[in-house]
Amino acid sequence: MGRLFIKLSIIITVVLLLFMPVNSFVKHSHDYNINHAILAFKKHPHPVDIINLGASHSMYGYNFKPTGLSHLDLALPAQTIQYDFKLLREYGKYLKPDGVVIISISQITFANSRANYVGNYYNVLDRKEIEPFRLIDYYSYLYLPGLNSGRFNSALSGKLKNFKWNAHQPWANNGKNYSERKYEHVEAQYNEAVENNSIEQNVKQLREMVDYCSEKGYRVILTMEPVQQSYQEYFNEEVMNRLVFQYLKALELDVPFLNYMSDQRFLDNKDYFIDPDHLNKEGRKKFSWIVYKDLKKLGYL
């Protein structure tokens, strides 16, 4: 019995020693800490002039600090419109009077209804707002993220991104390989949403969010961020009408819609992009100044 206990103790010790660096690796990865800006704001909240919501296009799209505006970025990768609304209700109280809310519309806005990364919201939203919320998942995610295979794979992919096959690099074949993969993914997601009748729910949620902004006195605007030419070729006008614009048109929202998706100032310039549909630091700076000037023209600032 004593020998068995010793053997088990040794095995447990070895497993723990092996797991600790894995857990640390995941815990310090970029993807695991993707919500760091919101967490930092939560610790030191202050009045803001502008809030942007949306998924990764929006998260990589805006930096209003150089314009002198106080800005809170509430966009996160693959964020559903339901979580846009949850975050707005949680942090909208920090908007200054007549503050601006940017609701980013992307190719997945109406097709995306499943939050794949609820862990992103564990420390930035009230537990009641997180669906589904399980206490064991909550504590394991916070303290033992190395056990989460999804987060481990994301952390590993981040470290190995420079070692991808040439065909899988963002700009391989002038970005067309990447754009085709994204198109196929979005099409599959859209078809699933049609089958599950979840598009109507997202359309309804957008109207509710715009109405909520009106009730609160927020100045709301819809935007669509720029993409590079190879991406726009796959997500052309016909595709975007089917994925997005037909639903926006049916809503007849009485708010401005600034569509920069095919903006010529970005379309043919890879220097402004991380990959064909996400702006880099320079692109974000240029784009934010453009949006800032357009908001001033509208009388929003």
Cα–Cα distance, 48 to 65 (Å, whole number): 11
**Quick check: helix, strand or coil at residue 214?**
helix
pLDDT in tens, 209-220: 999 999 999 999
Cα–Cα distance, 254 to 210 (Å, whole number): 9
- DSSP code, position 132: S
Q: How confident is the model at residue 90 (pLDDT cuts 50, 70, 90)?
A: very high
Q: Which of 53-57, 142-146, 166-170, 265-269 has the lowest mean pLDDT?
A: 166-170
Burial of 149 (0-12, 13-18, 19+ CB in 10 A): exposed
Report phi then psi at 142, rounded to 5: -75, -40
Nearest to 90 by CA among 207, 212, 173, 262: 212
pTM of the predicted model as reported, rounded to 2 decimal places: 0.91
Nearest to 81 by CA among 102, 108, 60: 108
Instruction: Annotate 50-63 with b (16+ C-beta within 10 A) or e (fewer).
Output: bbbbbbbbbbbbbb
HSE value, Cβ hemisphere, 13 Å, CA-based, for 298: 17
The pLDDT of residue 274:
96
> Which carries the bigger pLDDT value, residue 231 or residue 158?
231
Q: How confident is the model at residue 162 (pLDDT cuts 50, 70, 90)?
A: low
The pLDDT of residue 161:
66
Q: How confident is the model at residue 291 (pLDDT cuts 50, 70, 90)?
A: very high
Q: Pairing between strand 278-279 and 273-275?
A: antiparallel
Domains and CATH numbers, the chain: 1-30+120-163 (no CATH), 34-113+175-297 (3.40.50.1110)
